[in-house]
Amino acid sequence: MPAKDLFHQAVRHALEKDGWIITHDPLMLRSDLGKFYVDLGAEKFLAAEREGDIALCARE
């Protein structure tokens, strides 16, 4: 699992403050090519019947 960068906690805090719910920290994705890690997985309900998703990844 990759190390969290300097801005990880600040971004997480800002998302939570804006109403996002952090669902994964980190988010692991599996494919035929192997495992991939995304910094955060989050969701925010925009309306009763509509939902938004976001995934943030770090660039090395």
5-38 per-position pLDDT tens digit: 788 899 889 989 988 888 888 888 888 988 888 8
What is the separation of C-alpha 26 from the centre of its chain, rounded to a whole number of angstroms?
7
Is residue 41 very low, low, confident or very high in pLDDT (cuts 50, 70, 90)? Answer: confident
Q: Assign 9 to helix, strand or coil.
A: helix
With 70 as the cut, is the pLDDT of residue 48 above it? no
Say what the pLDDT of residue 32 is.
Answer: 92
Higher pLDDT, 22 or 44: 22
Q: Cβ distance 6 to 31 under 8 Å? A: no
With 70 as the cut, is the pLDDT of residue 52 above it? no
- The pTM score is 0.62
